[in-house]
Structure 1
Amino acid sequence: MKNISYRSFIAKYTQRIIIPWFIASVIYLLINTLFFDVVWNAMTVINFFLYPFYHLWFIPGLLIMMSLLWLVVNKRLSFTAVLILALFLSIAWFSYLKHWQLDSTFLYWLGDKRFYIYFFFYVLGFYIRNNPTVTFYKRVPLIVSLVAIAFGCLRSVGFMHKLIPSSTSGLFFISLNFGIITLCLNQVIQNNKFNNRLTDFCSRQSLAIYLYHYLSILLIKDTFSGLVMNIGIPGVLMPYIVAVILFGIACLTVLPSIALMEKIEKINPLVFGNISRR
């Protein structure tokens, strides 16, 4: 990222990220056209890029965050100041995003705005990776990580979301992600846990899993949601039961499919973005 032109920077990620994302977007758009009434006009094409289908919003957001960091690194801006500003942006954006009439203002043209919430964590991850001396997370005890996760989940439990002001929701969001990050860095990475063929495969094909995991869910969710409802599970538990079932089926269908298709010479680099297959 450092000491390279922006054109070279984008070219580096064109085959790795942009082309696979574009292909996936077209596939989902065609599926959406088949199952739903899509009116094709100029705004349909514009919204195709501004507001990608369902989960595909993250890739444009990732490219924007990477571009901002390229600017920070090559213009020698203060990383500490950027980190503080990113923290403020993430908290403020998360807390007030639901209350802004974004679609009726100039903010509409910023596209899907969920990724701004994660800007702080992206900057923090970049900072940790490029500064080996930054080891604050190693001093975070396991109990602190677990408490941070529990606190972050508090606002989503039962009636608590009605008691806690929405303006403070950003703090719960930061707490939850802080707990998850420190837990993963300390208990998984530092202790070298869960290092096996499955995690190696998921790491290698993480982009493919991200792009196409929803495809199986899209095809089966209505069927299994109906089955769970017919069983008579209480309404409070039903979303969690459905989520577990869908997650299991997605793993059993998507992972083997990707494992088979990655052996095809053209699909692996072009569709999955996996340029160097192991």
Structure 2
Amino acid sequence: MPVAGSGHAFGGLHAAAVERIGAWIVQGRIPPGELLPNASDPTLGISRSVLREAIKVLAGKGLVESRPKTGTRVRARSEWNFLDPDVLSWRYAGAIGTEDVRALFELRRAIEPMAASLAATRASAEEIAVLEAALTEMEAVVHDGELFAKPDLVFHQTILRMTGNELISSLAALIETALVMSFRLSIDSPDGQEPSMPLHREVANRIAARDPLGAQQAMIVLLEGAEQDVRRVVEGRNRRRGGREIKE
């Protein structure tokens, strides 16, 4: 997910520098504690001013810190803002392991089941109609994983907003990238998206029935199934990648 332009004349170069250096850091090419390349390094090919602006952005994401006379170093992973949309994108754009999948779905399970429970007690009729519309669109594109991801995102974000809790509602934007990443990882599932539709439908039905416990449990079942799908996809990709590396 590229960073938006800075608004300066070199906005495109600045965004590209943030994207490249950020991905190198998050994917381990520049490990914690190591100095960033300077502007004269041919691998960067950018000016000092562009690098300086890129470093400001990366520092805001918790990835780097600059100190007088010692240069700019990568911070410890414990200091990174992993919920930053760019950091999440860089993390899941590289090689993904089962630990990455576990972390992603632990985040979702920590938030979405409780949101579904609250939605069942607080959602308005208009909000339930939005949820139903998202379901209808999901059913219409269920055989196209790329198209399915958009209404799936609307479905899950709508539930967060249906809680009537402004703090939880704000999480809809905060975890959007995490949701999109899990959807994209499931696109290659051999079973496709159709098996998930009854699970989504059950969540919506429990919310519409004003059944908090049922909605919470239905969301847990939905997330467990999604995690299994993503794990199968990731493990399959890693096996294929390992086979290619052995041949090479």
Give the TM-score, by structure 1 length.
0.28
Q: Which is richer in helix? A: 1
Which structure would you say has the larger RCO, counting Cα contacts within 8 Å and 6 or more residues apart? 1
Give the TM-score, by structure 2 length.
0.30
